[in-house]
Structure 1
Amino acid sequence: MFGYVTVCEPELKVKDLKKYRAYYCGLCRTLKEDYGFMGQMTLTYDMTFAVILLSSLYERIPELEKHRCKIHPVKKQMMLRNEITSYAAAMNVLLAYYHMEDDWQDERKVTSLLAKSMMEGKVKKIIEAYPRQSRVIRDSLKELSECEKENCQDIDRAAWCFGRLMAELLLYKEDIWEKTLRKMGFYLGKFIYIMDAYEDLSEDKKKNRYNPLKQISEKEDYEERMVQILRMMIAESTARFEQLPCLVDVDILRNILYDGVWNRYNQIQSRIQEQNQAQMKKSKKSEEKK
């Protein structure tokens, strides 16, 4: 469900793209150091965004390091890290752990049970350090699981669960920015959930899996309604972002929120156009044969 909150590379300056990748590599390095290979496997672009956002908001200057890794064994890569990187890494692992727990409870996936067992010791420490976030993540994913069991077609109810989860993740600490960060995270979380459901709809229909958009997708104006909903969610989130006093890396943050979040939507639309064109060509050839 993650991977939507990323940069739009063609619209980003070279220096900003390098800095963004340094934040991403810094998060990857922290996951490996603190949680091992299993932790590193939970790396997401979305939590990289959280690192940049919270570092900018709280004026936490990251330290620049250079390291080699398995993906880049020859040349050392630039990495940016601070205490917020450690927070984001912990949240990454916690999310993955509870997701695996749900997979085991709902579908009895042995792979999820094994991975969950390997992370259990370190996750207990995260829960002790971040009880508020842990409780909300667990409860939100449980509610999502209930929606799935009920085959709930109320997209607002299902998206609310993930919005609540994302709101808690962005709340690094409870202070004067709490209300704004919660609202920003809430609508961003709803956007992520709805975009994920939109992208997976075709495959979910084929495999008879749960998707809260199945009923609405039967309506003639489905595509128009979806883009309106998505625009409304991200507009609410960006409106709250603009209320925050973020000055450092603001160009990267705006690139992500105004352009990058639409990367997958644009890819989906391109695929739909290609499929429609292929269908038109096929129909035209059939008519010519007649």
Structure 2
Amino acid sequence: MFGYTIPMEPMMRSEEVAAYRGYYCETCHQLRDGYGVMSTIIVSYEMTFANLVLNSVLDDGEIIKVPDTGRFCVFRHSKRHNELLKRLAAYTVLVANNGLIDDKMDGPSIKSNLGLLWLNRSIEKARKDYPHYDELIMKGYEELREKEAAGCNDPIEMGTTSAM
């Protein structure tokens, strides 16, 4: 369920916006370094938020500041190499995969078909790197599809299921 987390940049101080953008860029760089340039199309506010929160509460977390170099960002490599960022990148790929599959199951979708084709290598690599994540995410999406098929339209129940 992407699209529910968005930054309220007008409400943020300039240094907060810069910090948030740093985390967003680092999330994108981790996707690129771990899963190829194609995977950078799935960078999301949700995963950036997870990156920011987890880096804030973990002992080995770090404050990320990415200077604006004026270069096209996607071609820069990550300067950070920690397990949390690598796991978040894989998680992002696997969640996007299941989101595209879910969209495809809801009805024919050119976007889903192209997305799955575009991300195929990234998805396979993430599955190989973190099979346990793949199992958990697939289980969650299966439960969500079962609720949809049963006619559930309670947003709280659906959101709780998708978050598990």
Contact 2:42 2:93 in 1 (8 A): yes
**1:80 CA drift (Å):** 7.1
CA deviation vs aligned residue, 1:112-165 (integer Å, no higher than 9, x gap)? 23321332333222123222321121111122222222221344432221120x
Q: Is the Cα contact below 8 Å between 1:144 and 1:158 reproduced in 2?
A: yes
Q: Deviations over 1:195-245 (max 9, x none)?
A: xxxxxxxxxxxxxxxxxxxxxxxxxxxxxxxxxxxxxxxxxxxxxxxxxxx
Are 2:85 and 1:85 equivalent residues in the alignment?
A: yes
RMSD, matched Cα: 2.9
Match of 1:142 in 2: 142
TM-score under structure 1 length normalisation: 0.47
Mapped to 2, the partners of 1:53 and 1:82 lie a distance apart of 17
Residue 10 and residue 100 in structure 1: after superposition, are their counterparts in 2 closer, same or farther (change >3 A)?
Answer: closer
CA distance in 2, matches of 1:80, 1:64: 11
Q: Which runs of 5 or more structure 2 residues have no equivalent in the other structure?
A: none
Q: How many residues align?
A: 159
Contact 2:36 2:122 in 1 (8 A): no
Same amino acid, percent of matched pairs: 28
| Cα deviation, residue 64, structure 1 | 5.4
- What does 1:1-290 correspond to in 2, within 5 Å? 1-58=1-58, 59-61=60-62, 66=67, 67=69, 68-69=71-72, 81-83=80-82, 84-164=84-164
- 2 CA distance for matches of 1:151 and 1:132? 29
Q: Which runs of 5+ in 1 are unaligned?
A: 165-290
| Structure 2 Cα separation of the partners of residues 111 and 9 of structure 1 | 29
Aligned CA distance change for structure 1 residues 118 and 7 (closer, same or farther; 3 Å): closer
Larger radius of gyration: 1
Could you tell me how far 1:81 is from its partner in structure 2? 4.1
Give the Å deviation of 1:94.
0.9
Q: Is the 8 A contact 1:63 1:80 kept in 2?
A: no
Could you tell me the TM-score, scaled by structure 2's length? 0.77
Taking the aligned partners of 1:16 and 1:117, their CA distance within structure 2 comes to 36
Structure 1 contact 103–109 (Cα < 8 Å) conserved: yes
